[in-house]
Structure 1
Amino acid sequence: LQGSLQTLVLRGGGPAAPAPWTVPLHGRELSGDALARQLDHWEHAGICEPAHAAALRDCLAHPEWFDLSDQHLVLLGAGSEAGPLGWLARWRANLVGIDLARPATWKRIAATVLAGNGTLTAPVAPGLPLDVAHAGADLLGDTPEIAAWLAGLGGPLAVASLAYLDGERHLRVSLAMDAISATLCTADARTQLAYMATPTDVFAVPEAVATAVMQRYAQRGLVKKLAQFGARLGSGGRGFVPHIEALIDAGDFGRWGLVDALVVEQGPNYALAKRLQQWRALVARAEGHRVAFNVAPSTTTASVVSNPLLAAGFRGASRFGVETFEPATTNALMAAMWVHQLRTAPRDFAHPLKLLVHTANHGGLWRLPYRPRSVLPMAALLGFVKRG
């Protein structure tokens, strides 16, 4: 881009009061006691960690938190299918949206904002008409310009990295978002960062989680043990592998286990892109920035279900106690988690890695007694049968 980005501001014309927080689930809109019971179920079933459910119960108890008129929130990848735009636009937030300059994308973003009660500030390339049809900037091609434009808006800003692209472009756009986030952190010590992390990665989990996983494996019934032993032999040792086999002694930091939920089919670019987010989160927090790092459950977004094996694996996952979520459900949960972290004081963790797992909603993936990819073929087979 030649010259500075222009600034377009959209203002919502919907009801003035913040929309009540509800969670869509299987055709129902959960709120109040019904939502509290669902949170209890997810926690007790091991779908999410206790701190995730506790944070959302806090949100239920504090509806006033959802008036975000005092917050300035940057969405890098504003049109993301699993992103929080739809909720934030109805919670009076001051939003800044970055997405590709595609008229269809911005028509959808603008419709969401105009129906709500917040505002959205968007970049427009220099020399173009200042309207929705020309809004947008390319995170990959316009990285320095976007960073400078955001820094010029004034702070403090809370920056969420949400953009997704297929293949190696996902790694590149993640690097671009990281460069923008780092620039804004350097420019203003009050900058906050936010991430929706994947559960399909490797994480160090506290002893309580690791012990529960090992106990589930040890307590399998005799018939199940024999059947899985045969399946493991038939797969050359690749099937039904124990998820966590030992604890790691970290001295004064306690004992930990390693959850290995990497899914090879998602590819190395995806894995590295998501690992970059972990590294930036840890570095930024060590430098004094507030970081909202929330592991979101596996979600049936278009990019995920376009992979036939993953789509089938998701359909069969429930047979192993793993729950996959629809985008609308994930959106509602993760938007509220961000609100919780905007409204509460930062937690002190004995070890920095606790930041990455404390409030996780992993859909039960981390508490599987088996390494997830060692049962993915079986889950996929069940999923193909289920579809048929």
Structure 2
Amino acid sequence: VVERLVCSERTDTMLAWIGSPTDAFKLGEDGLKKQLGEGAVARSVSTYAMVRRLRPGRIGGVYPGFVDVQGPNYAAAKRIGRWRATVERAAGRQISYNVGPMSLTASVTDHRILKTAYDGLERLGMPPLPSDLSASIMAALLVWDLHTPDAQRYSDTFLTDKAVDCGMFSSPYEPNGLMEFAVALGAGSSVTGGVKGLVRRSR
């Protein structure tokens, strides 16, 4: 409603949204990684994927990025913005829609399971970014969209053209299936780090 009222008064208004890599997008079948992480981590995740029968990272060219722990409200909120971006673009309005990276925001670092999962994802080669770096990247993309309106106006893949997905889009497995493994991996890192810290302090 607010967007509609503002746009009715200012016809030159540009609307902007930040999308999430934990959403579903049509990406095609190209660009999937063959493995995640290195050495023992890569071997472990391959074994885990076979045992747990993880779904692939693309299903019919669609990336199934939803993650259960984030819940339906998060998915709905992101989808509302994405829908508005699609509708306003079709109506001829200049819009900015960019998928932002996984970020170490306060809401994430205060959520024990998410924080542990993010630690594990970093070891899998999909590192979340510091929140200030993410903000700078997204601000730069917004400025670019302001100065190049035709880029999104005439693109059939405008939702993901400039996605900063931290490697999620090229994962061979869907994010939801990987989260349990990432939590275990992140928890192991925390325990190892804690033990090392105790050893250093004892010395």
Paired AA for residue 31 in structure 2: A
Deviation of 1:269 after TM superposition, in Å, equals: 0.5
Q: Aligned to 1:280, which of 84, 87, 94?
A: 84
Match of residue 372 from structure 1: 175
Deviation at 1:319, TM superposition (A): 2.4
Q: 2:30 maps to what in 1?
A: 211
* Residues matched between the structures, number: 186
The answer to whether the 8 A contact 2:94-2:149 is kept is no
1:349 is aligned to 2:154: yes
| Greater RCO (CA < 8 Å, at least 6 residues apart) | 2
Shift of 1:298: 0.5
Counterparts of 1:232 and 1:341, CA distance in 2: 39
> What CA distance in whole angstroms lies between the structure 2 residues aligned with 1:180 and 1:345?
23
Question: Does 2:70 match 1:231?
Answer: no
Q: Return 5+ residue gaps in structure 2 as ranges.
A: 192-203
Partner of 1:291: 95
CA-based RMSD of the aligned residues comes to 2.3
Question: Where does residue 170 of structure 1 map in the other structure?
Answer: none
Bigger helix share:
2
Query: Once the two structures are superposed, what CA deviation does each residue of 1:331-387 show, in whole Å capped at 9, x if it has no partner?
Result: 111111111111223224353xx1111111011111111111111111111111212
**Counterpart contact for 2:45–2:181, Cα < 8 Å:** no
1:130-149, aligned counterparts within 5 Å?
A: none
Deviation, structure 1 residue 245: 4.2
Structure 1 residues 355 and 297: alpha-carbon distance in aligned structure 2, compared to 1, 3 A threshold: same
Question: Which range moves more in the overlay, 339-348 or 354-363?
Answer: 339-348
Report if aligned partners of 1:189, 1:288 keep a CA contact under 8 Å in 2.
no
Matches within 5 A, 1:178-193: 179-193=1-15
- Shift in Å at residue 185 of structure 1? 2.1
CA contact (8 A) 2:41 2:124 kept: no
One-letter amino acid matched to 1:197: G
Mapped to 2, the partners of 1:277 and 1:289 lie a distance apart of 15
Instruction: Indicate how the Cα distance of structure 1 residues 323 and 231 shifts in structure 2: closer, same or farther if over 3 A, else same.
Output: closer
CA gap 1:286/1:369 in 2 versus in 1, 3 angstroms: same
Consecutive aligned runs of 4 or more in structure 1 exceeding 4 Å deviation: 223-230
Q: Which residue of 2 aligns with 1:265?
A: 69
Task: Say which one has the larger Rg.
Answer: 1
The alpha-carbon distance between structure 1 residues 241 and 363, as it changes in their structure 2 partners (threshold 3 A), is: same
Q: Map of 1:105-254 to 2, 5 A cutoff?
A: 179-205=1-27, 207=28, 210-213=29-32, 216-217=33-34, 230-232=47-49, 234-235=51-52, 237=53, 240-246=54-60
Distance 1:230 1:198, change over 3 A: closer
- How far is 1:317 from its partner? 0.6
